[in-house]
Amino acid sequence: MKPSTMFTRRIPKDELGTWLNLAGRALPEQIDYAESFIALPDTIYFLASIGGENAGGTAIYRDRARYAVALVDAFLHPDHRSGAELQLLKSSLPFFRTVVIREADVLLDSDDFEEYLPSPMATRIASSFRNTLEALGFHEVAKIHRCSIDTRIEDDIPSPMSQDETPNRKGALDLFWKQSGLSRLDCSQVTLALEVAGKRGALRTWTTDGTTVLAMGIERLQDRALVWPILADLDVIDDSSVAREIAAQAIPVNPVSIELPLVGQGQLGIIKELAKLVGSQLKTREATLMRKKL
């Protein structure tokens, strides 16, 4: 039987509720972050329908800094999952190189990952999409770590560094480029994290002699402290100093845990130092970064 045709359209902000309800992402905190995401100038929500019924959707971020796009979210209703993945992704992603788009990034969750963070901190791309992505020319380029540390410390930790009074967004982006090779955290999900943190007033930076050496987004999410992303110039500050600054920022919100959903392989030393500092066990899972050069 010939598969039904899928129609995909970009939705305006006033239809975001329809998309979130269909995706099962309509808790208050999920709505809050989705509204922050759609308010950015380079984000798109697509809604797909089959036979006149809403069947699934995607969320796309256009990364002007990296000349790329990121598939941030994708889902299909259970009634339409069989064979529809290819139509959904082909209708959402660019497949020709342009002056402003040269590659596409996707971050896949592991099979056993029980997600509780709202999108776009959560990638929300199930590993079941992997075969379809590979058929479209995507390949694995890195593992990204998603870390959680239960906190067992009540006393505040003094901040070892002087924080910028006004977040230095340009400095944070410059730091992203500088540290990407060492941290192995070079993807559009990082620049998206910087934009969302800036939009929500959660971005914090530390600048020395005119150069930003540390940047992170940090805010309270229910009873947790969310730290997303972490960018550090490890030629200037060591792992333990970065970990101490994270703890100094996170502990005052009295979290039951510190959540770090976007950690590069080269940043695991920071996270291990942080776990020692707050006196708890580190839990980490892997997500797979896949990329297609256009």
48/53 Cα distance (integer angstroms): 8
Q: pLDDT digits over 30-71, tens only? A: 999 999 999 999 999 999 999 889 999 999 999 999 999 999
Confidence label for 100 from pLDDT (cuts 50, 70 and 90): confident
* Nearby residues of 23 by Cβ (< 8 Å), 6 or more positions away: 57, 73, 75, 124
- 3-state class (DSSP) for residue 85: helix
Contact status, residue 165 vs residue 272, Cβ threshold 8 Å: no
Q: pLDDT digits over 168-217, tens only? A: 999 999 999 999 988 989 999 999 999 999 999 999 999 999 999 999 99
Q: Which domains does the chain have, with CATH numbers?
A: 6-144 (3.40.630.30), 149-286 (3.40.630.30)
Beta bridge partners of 224: 221, 257
Residue 1 confidence (pLDDT)? 43
Instruction: Answer yes or no: pTM beyond 0.85.
Output: yes
- As given in the structure block, the two tokens for residue 240 are 């333990």
| Residue with token string 């006393």 | 155
In terms of Cα–Cα distance, which of 195, 256, 197, 251 is closest to 222? 256
Chain centre distance of CA 74? 14
